[in-house]
């Protein structure tokens, strides 16, 4: 089996990511994002399964008149993200069906932790109206006050909790 290619230098890769973000500013008048696509998809799901719940709902109702999920900028961007990451992994022989985890945690516990972490991030993202891509990166580069506040607090929250979940990673 051929060995997976090593990752790119982080500074160079980061600069590349920054250029992608800059292209978004220039071509689309907006930056990157991820959690917004989750929000749009969740609204779409609720609308499809329980339409009575969405009309007039302060949050779900927001997405009713927007031309459908297929037109949502972030949804399209995240679909591209999935394709791009897939292609990049395949070409570098890094694609692998499996579970990344710390040395002393079982697969089941790892998957459960990933899910719980995801739930917390979902909560945080709705509160903050964004995530690391949409706020820390996009808003950070545009010097948005709230984005910097979010970024600093996200790092602070992660560093604060790290000792408590050491078993997951060390």
Partner 1 sequence: MMPSDSPLVAFGIGIAFGVALERAGLAHAPTLAGQFYFTDFTVFKVMFSALVTAMLGAFWLSRLGVIELAAVHVPQTWLLPQVVGGLVFGLGFVVSGLCPGTGCAAAASGRLDGLSTVLGMFVGVLATGWAYPMLEPFLVRTAYGPLTLPQALGVPYGVVVCGVVVVALGAFRLVEWQERRT
Partner 2 sequence: MSAPRALGYAALALGLAAPFAGSPYGSARGRIDVDELAGVVARGEDHVEAIDLAQRIRARQPGLRVIDLRTNEELDGYAIPGAERHAIDALSRLHPAPGDTLVLVSQAGAHAAQAWVLLRALGWRQVYFLRGGMDEWRDEVMRPELAADADEHARRAFEVVADLSRYFGGAPGIGPARGDGGSGAPPGGERKGAVRPRRYGC
> Which range of residues in 63-71, 105-113, 115-123, 162-170 is near partner 2 by CB under 8 A?
63-71
Q: Does 97 bind partner 1 (CB under 8 A)?
A: yes
Alpha-carbon 152 to chain mean position:
17
Alpha-carbon distance of 114 to 102, in angstroms, equals 12
> What character string, x for contact with partner 2 (CB under 8 A) and - otherwise, covers 82-121?
----------------------------------------
Sole binder of partner 2 in the list 2, 6, 9, 52 (CB under 8 A)? 9
| Pick from 127, 147, 123, 129: nearest CA to 137 | 147
Is residue 40 within 8 A of residue 74, CB to CB? The reply is yes
> What character string, x for contact with partner 2 (CB under 8 A) and - otherwise, covers 12-31?
x--x------------xxx-
| Contacts of partner 1 in 36-65 (CB under 8 A) | 38-39, 41-43, 45-46, 57-60
Residues 6+ apart with CB under 8 A from 93: 2, 3, 4, 5
């Amino acid at each position: 089996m051929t060995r997976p290619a090593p990752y790119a230098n982080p500074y160079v890769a980061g600069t590349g990511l920054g250029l992608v973000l800059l292209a978004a500013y220039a071509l689309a008048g907006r930056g990157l994002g991820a959690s917004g696509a989750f929000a749009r998809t969740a609204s779409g799901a609720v609308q499809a399964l329980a339409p009575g719940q969405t009309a007039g709902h302060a949050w779900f109702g927001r997405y009713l008149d927007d031309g459908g999920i297929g037109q949502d900028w972030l949804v399209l961007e995240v679909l591209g993200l999935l394709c791009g990451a897939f292609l990049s992994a395949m070409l570098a022989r890094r694609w692998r069906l499996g579970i990344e985890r710390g040395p002393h945690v079982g697969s089941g516990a790892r998957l459960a932790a990933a899910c719980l972490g995801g739930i917390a991030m979902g909560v945080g993202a709705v509160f903050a109206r964004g995530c690391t891509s949409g706020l820390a990166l996009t808003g950070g580069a545009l010097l948005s006050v709230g984005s910097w506040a979010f970024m600093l607090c996200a790092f602070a929250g992660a560093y604060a909790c790290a000792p408590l979940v050491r078993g997951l990673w060390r």
